Structure 1
Amino acid sequence: MTTTTADFSAAAPHRPGKIRHRVLWTLQILLGLFFVIASGGPKLVIPGALTDNAPENLTIPFALLIFIGVAEVAGGIGLMVPRLTALAAAGLTVLTVLAAGTQAFIADKPAMAIFPLALAAIFTWIAYERRATLTELRDTLTR
């Protein structure tokens, strides 16, 4: 009986299957548009209305709200750019986990933390499935 050992050092980068690829792109486009239009966009276009509609935002400095809006818009755009999908998903994972913490501890509404945590799980999955783009991006930047 012979045994073989696998050499994983030269393995091809992970690529999702055809159906999974389509599901990922559908999620990326929908979530990207959500973050550009519905989440980050209003923080940048009408920041005064944001503090009027959500009193918990008054405890957050105005400059931080603008920074969060910029990060959300950048992440939303990054989800729709093929080379940046994993990086954007990883960044949005951190952002949504922090948003869940804000909802739970600063706004004192722990039930509202469920949606950001669900988004964090989706973004984690997207980042994992698109991890090959991180290697490609690193190779492009180190040339």
Structure 2
Amino acid sequence: MSDATTTVAATTTASRGPGDAPAAPGRRVRITVRALQILLALFFAVPSAGPKLVGHSSAAESFDRIGFGDWFMYLVGGLELAGAIALLIPVLSGVAALALGALMAGAFFTQLTVFDGGNAATPLTLLVPLVAVAWSRRHHNAELVALVRRRSSR
């Protein structure tokens, strides 16, 4: 880095106060996170929610073993599909990643307790990119709250 670049970066960082929003991520970071959101949305919509929503026998057997039956299978499938769609909507992407992360934490716990850890790595593997998306899209949460407040005050 040149001295001019270092000076500008130091001045920009120093001029921000403790309550100021962090600088916007660079173009490469935004593109990478967006690609990650699309990949996660595709995964949650097709191979994850799909079998649950069509009542595939493998999904039904798993949820019967959990002890909640078909209603819970359809609920989880619906939540996964809604989360997949919300990941693609910018103002909802941070909240969607958090919600899907919570769903994966529940799936991890279920894998450990009901299925003796058989596929416990899968929810953990998905949890890592979901946390990354939630963190990088956290500024959208303030936008969402402001939007909801505006709509509710009408």
**What TM-score comes out, normalization by structure 2 length?**
0.80
Equivalent residue of 2:25, what SS? coil
Q: 1:111 to 1:20 in 2, by over 3 A?
A: farther
RMSD across aligned positions (CA) = 1.9
Residue identity in the other structure for 2:134: A
Q: Give the Cα–Cα distance (whole angstroms) in 2 for the partners of residues 44 and 92 of structure 1.
A: 17
Q: Which moved more, 1:114-123 or 1:126-135?
A: 114-123
1:78 aligns with 2:86: yes
Equivalent residue of 2:46, what SS? helix
Q: Give the Cα–Cα distance (whole angstroms) in 1 for the partners of residues 148 and 59 of structure 2.
A: 39
1:128 aligns with 2:135: yes
Bigger Rg, which one: 2
CA contact (8 A) 1:56 1:106 kept: no
Query: 1:58 — aligned with what?
Result: 64
CA contact (8 A) 1:14 1:131 kept: no
> CA offsets, 1:3-28, max 9 Å, x none?
x896222x135532211111111110
Q: Give the Cα–Cα distance (whole angstroms) in 2 for the partners of residues 12 and 6 of structure 1.
A: 8
Match of 1:7 among 12, 17, 21: 17
CA contact (8 A) 2:101 2:127 kept: yes
| Identical-pair percentage | 33
Q: 1:51 to 1:25 in 2, by over 3 A?
A: closer
Q: Give the Cα–Cα distance (whole angstroms) in 1 for the partners of residues 56 and 122 of structure 2.
A: 24
- How many aligned residue pairs are there? 135
Q: Give the Cα–Cα distance (whole angstroms) in 2 for the partners of residues 28 and 51 of structure 1.
A: 25
- Structure scoring higher RCO (CA < 8 A, sep ≥ 6) equals 1
Query: Which structure 2 residue ranges, 5 or more long, are not aligned?
Result: 1-13
1:93 aligns with 2:97: no
